[in-house]
Structure formats: structure tokens, C-alpha cells
Structure 1
Amino acid sequence: MDHGVVSPALKRAAGLAGAVLCVIAAALLLRRGFQLGDVLVERLTKISVPAFGAALVLYGIGAAALGFAWVLLARAAAASPVHARPLFVAHLRSQLAKYLPGNVFHFAYRHVAARREGLGHRALGGALAFESILLVAAAATLASGVAADPRLESVTPWLRWVVRAAPLVAIAVALAGAFAMRRFGSADARVSRTLSAFAMVFTIDVGFFLLAASALRLLCAQPDLLPFAAWCGWLALAWIAGYVTPGAPGGLGLREAVLVLGLGPVLGEAEALAIAFAYRLVTIGADALLAGIGFGLRDRAETSA
């Protein structure tokens, strides 16, 4: 997708650095968890099974909706009509691959599956690029409030400006992309249709983060201590940290660290750490369930063929 702009050595170095950062963050969180000991265990056991199950359902719905967003983008970039089902099934099946070292195998799996449906490399490169741009823009829109937190401001004073600029940059890129979509493979793509697809995908992305934040909030014993906007903001900022870090498998460690940083001062460190751990179990469980559904749908399709 980068057409040689970034050297393989630089990409490997960035991926290694991201993986090391994840390991360090995860190790520090685990160490703090052992230090908290029984207090952390008590907080974890206070999360009820119905609350955990509801969080699993909410996150699963949001993650499945991202599959429809991928179908919209792939169709917008395609030079000819493509079937939605194989693209959606491939998206479901790729969910667990994002936890593999390198954080690229879920992209690779969807790319290979879409190639079987006749999509060209350039079309897929365009679809993946706009998927990332719109996801980050949606997350940045929700994270704009908490990005100005004094604790973040003291470490990264530029963060709030980057977060606030992200949606504007995404709009500009989307407009340019709508006019340049022919270069990705769709010779007869209309600008209005492409922009409509982008708008629908952005809406789905925002919906995903709202559902994910709702799932996170369900895991808290006293969720009203924080306004819903704060839940959305810290969840979105944690997601961005894991997404943009090269080589971070599922943002493991990094997302939990950001959640503890944001939620800890209000909820308490033990409660925040328990919520972060439980939320990771929710995401892994939902992704595993979606992957299982994807394999089941694929097997059924192959059997009936």
C-alpha cells in the first residue's frame, strides 16, 4: 500500500518499537495489578455476569457494524460490482488476527479475501486507507474533550490540537479521495455516491465508539461518577493510542494504560484497572465470537456451493 515510500527496515523498526512499548505497558499494568492484590480482585468480582454479558453484546454489535462499513468502502473503490457477503464474512473472520504480533494480519486477511472477489490492489489500498482515516476521525471527534486534560497537556501539549484537527483533515482527505476514486479502480464512480459512502461509514464508526463506550461504562460499579462524554472520550483516545502504534497487537497494554490514566483519578486506581482488564476480556470475547460466526458462515457458504 505504501508503494515503497517507507523502507522495509524502517517499517520493521517501527513495528518492533511499538511491540516493545506494548510489552512495557502491559508489564507495568500487571505489576500494579499484583501490588493492588485483593483490592483489584474484589473490584473484578463486583462486575456482574449480566453486566459483562451486556457489554459483550454491545461491543459485538459495534464490531460487526464495522464489517458493513468495510463493505461500503470496498464497493465504493471497486471497478465493478462485488458481492457484500464474502467481504463481510472475511471481516468477521479477521477479528482475532489483530491480536497477532505485527498488528497487520487482519488487514492482510481481508486483502487476500477481497482479491478473490476481483478487487484490485489499488482499490483495496484506497479502501483500507479511507477506513483508517474515517475511524481515526470518528475517534478523534469523541476524544477532543479529554485530549485537553491537564495530565496529557503536561506531557503532550500538542495532542489536543492534533485530535481537534483530525476530523477536519479527514473531511479534506475524503473530499479529495472522492474526486480521485477513479485512480483506485472505479472508473465510473460518482463523487456524490462516494461521499455518501464516506458519510455512512463515518456514521457507523461513531456508532461503534458510542457502543464501545457504553460497554465500558457497564463494567463500572458507579458509572454516573463520570459523564457519558468522558467515557466516550477516554475510550476513543485509548483506541487511537493502540491503533496508530505500529506493531501493537490489538493495542494490548497501551489502551489499558490510557484508560487507567483517564478513569483512575475519579473512580480510583483499582476500579479503573479492573474495568480496563474486564474490558479487554470483553473485546477479546466479542472478537472471538464474531470470528466463530464468520467461520460458520463461510463453511455454510462453501458447503452449499
Structure 2
Amino acid sequence: MSLARLKNICKFIWILAVFVFATLYIIDKKAEIAQMLAALPLKTLFIAGVLVIVGKLCLVTNMQQAAGRFSISLGWGDCYRIYNLTQLAKYIPGSIWQFVGRISILRDRGVHSSSIRDSLLAEHLWVIGSAGLLAIALFFFNLPVFLAISHVNTGVVSSSTASMIVVTLIALFLTFLLSSKRFRCCLRRFSPPHELVPILLLTWLFLGASFWVTLGPYTDSHPSLLYVVGVYSMAFITGFLVPFAPAGLGVREGVLILGVISFVGEDIALMLAAMNRVIYFFVEIGLASLCVRWRIAIPNVIKK
């Protein structure tokens, strides 16, 4: 059996395990879940959805800037259509189909392969790099909160301990990379334009806030917005880097749960993390559905 086939099998098993766990949890806790959902106003869900939409639109701008850096001339509307249509393919086991779709569309438009490669690399480096640096900065900014949480016995690995380990590893990894002359040259080539930095920061602010607003009805000791933004940034990075979890499914939610379990309890943390994924998914479907009115070459792999 080839390594690629083994990876795809592992990804399929992971997705199946996530859905089986979710189904069994809902069946076992259906009464509690109904009670928890009743405490969450529709207004809060609407606000969370709007925040995800704005965050996703910021990511469209990030794509446009990355394309322009490497001489790919695309309007914001074109980037909106290409980005949102190909994003849905990330849920297909394999974790590459969104890239295959993007490459196919740009090649059909006559874009050189090297420009496509470099723009994709820059776009995702900017997303992951900004999330990583923000997570580290907010971790140290909220250090007293993490230290306080570390003394709370939740019955699982404390969020502060897990976060400190991950943040420390990222910091050490970045230090190691920066010591390489080749990496520093690459960093200069792929560094984001100054005007994009606020957009990247707003991306994580909006996406983190979409999770933060749902915590209010369930706790009197509401964590700070910056704390939750830091947790969300770390969750996104972790989900992105885990190869067997398409779109970070299950992994991102696990980090979110660890980050807020001390504030709302295990059951509510699990429910809110799952709800955040559902909101995110339906926003992606909604944004992609708006592209139907526009003409665009959609590769067969996306249609499948």
C-alpha cells in the first residue's frame, strides 16, 4: 500500500471518528444540549455568523494581495469567487483539493505555474504566520490568566499547560528558522505588504470574536476578547498543520475546548466549539453560493 493511500485512509477514519463521536455525544446529551441551546439567543448566533463573514472577506483580500505580489492581476470580485468556491473542497479527504482547484482556475486564465506556486505559498504563510505571531503575543499578554487557569482542576489537561507547550514550541521553531540565512532571504521575499498587516490582524479579531460572543450566556466570568482571539489563532494553526484532519476538523475544536473549559465547563465548551464549526461551515456555503451568479471556470475536481 502506497503512503499516499495510507494517508487518505487515515483521514477518512479520522473524519468518520469525529462524526461518530459527535453523533453519540448528541444522543447521550440531547436533553442537556437542548437546554444549552435554548440559552443561546438567535441574535448571538447572527452576530457570530456576521463576524465569520467579515473574517472570511479579509482572507479574500489576503489572497488578492498575495496574487498581486507575484504579478497575478485579479480584481477583488474575482478573488472572492475563486477563494470561496475552492474553499469548500478542503473538506474532501486529501487536504489538497482546494489547492488543485485554485491551480486549475488560474492555469485556465493563463497564469504561469511559478506565479501560482509563489502566490499560494505567500498567501498561506501570511495567514499562518500572522496567526502564530498573534497567538504568541496574546499568550504573553494574558499570562496571568493562563497561570490562574493552571491551578483549576478540570479533569483534563489544563488549557494553560497545553497552550504554554504549543506556544513555546512555536517560539523555539521560529527562533531556529530565523537563525537560517536562507530562511531570512525567503522571509524577505514572502513578507506581507505593510498595508496588509492590519487586515490580517482584523481577520483573527473577527474570527476569534465569533467564538467569544457565544460564551456570554453561559458564564459570569467571561474571558477577555484578546484571550479568546489568542486561543482561536492557536486552534486555527493547530488544525491547519495536522495533516489527517481536513480543514482542521476535530483538532481546531479540541484546542478551543481546552481554551475555555475552565470558564464554561466541559459540556458547554464542547457544544460551543462544535457550533462555531457549524456556523463557519454554513458561512462558507453561503459565500460560495453567491458565486453562482458569476461566470467562472470551475474545474471538474471541485464539481465532484
Regarding TM over 0.5, the answer is yes
CA distance in 1, matches of 2:111, 2:227: 40
> For 1:45, which of 38, 41, 56 is the aligned residue?
38
Does residue 161 (structure 1) correspond to residue 175 (structure 2)? The answer is no
SS at match of 1:219: coil
Where does structure 1 lack aligned partners over 5 or more consecutive residues? 1-7, 182-193, 300-305
Aligned runs of 1:248-267 on 2, under 5 Å?
A: 248-267=245-264
Code of the residue aligned with 1:135 in structure 2: it is: V
Instruction: Name 2:82's counterpart in structure 1.
Output: 90
RMSD over aligned Cα, in angstroms? 3.2
Does residue 59 (structure 1) correspond to residue 52 (structure 2)? The answer is yes
Q: 1:279 Cα deviation (Å)?
A: 0.9
Q: 1:34 Cα deviation (Å)?
A: 3.5
Instruction: Name 1:281's counterpart in structure 2.
Output: 278
> For 1:140, which of 132, 143, 151 is the aligned residue?
132
Does residue 210 (structure 1) correspond to residue 236 (structure 2)? The answer is no
Cα contact 1:138–1:205 (8 A) shared by 2: yes
Q: Deviations over 1:192-213 (max 9, x none)?
A: xx7553x444432321111011
TM-score by length of 1: 0.77
Instruction: Name 2:99's counterpart in structure 1.
Output: 107
SS at match of 1:298: coil
Cα contact 1:260–1:273 (8 A) shared by 2: yes
Identity %: 19
Cα contact 1:141–1:163 (8 A) shared by 2: no
SS at match of 2:111: coil
Where does structure 2 lack aligned partners over 5 or more consecutive residues? 151-156, 297-304
Code of the residue aligned with 1:86 in structure 2: it is: D
CA distance in 1, matches of 2:165, 2:274: 29
Of structures 1 and 2, the one scoring higher in RCO (CA 8 A, sep 6+) is: 1
User: What is the aligned residue count?
Assistant: 276
Code of the residue aligned with 1:52 in structure 2: it is: L
CA distance in 2, matches of 1:237, 1:19: 24
Larger displacement relative to structure 2 (248-257 or 200-209): 200-209
Q: Deviations over 1:217-274 (max 9, x none)?
A: 1222156521112211221122122211224222222222222222112111222122
SS at match of 1:94: helix
Q: 1:73 Cα deviation (Å)?
A: 0.6
Does residue 293 (structure 1) correspond to residue 290 (structure 2)? The answer is yes
Cα contact 1:104–1:247 (8 A) shared by 2: no
Q: 1:285 Cα deviation (Å)?
A: 1.3
1:267–1:22 Cα change, 3 Å: same
Q: 1:127 Cα deviation (Å)?
A: 1.5
Code of the residue aligned with 2:186 in structure 1: it is: G
